[in-house]
Amino acid sequence: MSTSSKRSLKASPLAKVNTTIAHCFKALSRRDRSASNQQKLNAQVFRRILSLVLFFGIWQLLCLNRFNFFINFENVPSPIEVAQATVQFVTGNPMKHIQASAIRVLSGFTIAAVLGISLGILIGWFKKIEDFIFLPLELLRPIPAVAWIPLAILMFPTSESGMIYLTFIGAFFPILISTIRGVESTDLLLLRVGQCLGAKQWHIFKDIVVPGAMPNIASGLVIGMGNSWFCLVTAEILAGRYGVGYITWESYVTSNYPPIVMGMLLIGLMGAASAYAVDRLTCLLMPWRITKKKSA
């Protein structure tokens, strides 16, 4: 249809009018379609907003009625109280807390990424190294961050380094395990491709094994980033005078309940945001995969 209209365009001025009309029709029908799409989208947005309103409404109601049947809402701050606490926090000096937490998480995460990826590659690629260090790591892996608190206090010279250690623990194992998996799942076919192009160990490793493991490593990094934030509260119980986790715990200790929920939400938000950032960044490192997503 488009080729025939192009041809007639050359043929006569009348045809030009025709094609213009055809274009108008096309545009119209496109607008029709997009209009109905728009409607669908609106309905979806409406339902989602409603779900939020219901969520906060029910929560508020439960608090107002001091609901107490098995679960006790008497001391749970209501959404309005949380909002007030948030306003207070934001108008106070929020940056020093957010900054303190972010630095801890970023330091722990960065160390975990460097160690996790390099150890993971070594363990995945060299059987002997796996034999030497895999079992001890497996033994440490299931230990939750909370259980590390006493040792973290005993082992580290400053409370700051102890806290960074705990956020490190959260990120390290997911990154390590996904890296090992990624390296181990290298495609035999691609190894053979490298071999009969004359690649020796180094090129096979650099150009085939590592890029092949990158998608796995990336998902390990995203999960690790989330986990680092999980461990933050635990870490900031340890010590500290600033930090989002610190506010959360401190508010509980001083029976000032609304900031607890605010702190929880803030941690969730920052965790989600930084995991998203890691996801985008790793996608940038793998242009061959981004384009795949677009075309699909």
Partner 1 sequence: MATLVEKTLEQRVRGFVEVENLSVSFKRKGQSVHVLESVNFKIEPGEFICLLGPSGCGKSTILNVIAGFIQPSSGFVFVDKRHVDSPSADRGFVFQQYSLLPWKTTYQNVEFGLKIRGVPKAKRSELVNYYLNRVGLFKHRHSYPHQLSGGMQQRASIIRALVNSPSVLLMDEPFAALDAQTRHMMQELLLTIWSDLKTTVIFVTHDIEEALFLSDKIFVMGVNPGRIKEKIDVTLDRPRHADGLLSPEFISLNRQVFELIREETLKSMDMD
123 near 134, Cβ under 8 Å? yes
| Interaction between residue 106 and partner 1 (CB under 8 A) | no
A 10 A CB-CB count for 262 gives: 24
Q: Name which of 204 and 247 has its Cβ closer to partner 1.
A: 204
Give the whole-angstrom CA distance, residue 223 versus residue 109. 11
Span 180-199, contacts to partner 1 by CB under 8 A: 189-190, 192-193, 195-199
Partner residues linked to 223 by β-bridges: none
Q: Which stretch binds partner 1 (CB under 8 A): 35-43, 126-134, 160-168, 203-211?
A: 203-211
* Closest CA relative to residue 277, chosen from 106, 90, 96, 94: 106
- What span, in angstroms and rounded, lies between the C-alpha atoms of 270 and 226? 9
Q: Which is nearer to partner 1, 131 or 187 (CB)?
A: 187
Burial (CB count within 10 angstroms: exposed 0-12, middle 13-18, buried 19+), residue 238: buried
**116-145 binders of partner 1 (CB under 8 A):** none
Closest approach of partner 1 to the CB of residue 286, in Å = 7
Q: Is 291 in the site for partner 1 (CB under 8 A)?
A: yes
Minimum distance from CB of 115 to partner 1 (Å)? 24
> Whole-number minimum distance, CB 195 to partner 1, in Å?
4
* Cα separation, 161 vs 148, whole angstroms: 13
Among 103-111, 169-177, 242-250, 284-292, the segment contacting partner 1 (CB under 8 A): 284-292
Which residues of this chain interact with partner 1, rule CB under 8 A? 189-190, 192-193, 195-200, 203, 207-208, 211-212, 214, 286-288, 291-292, 295
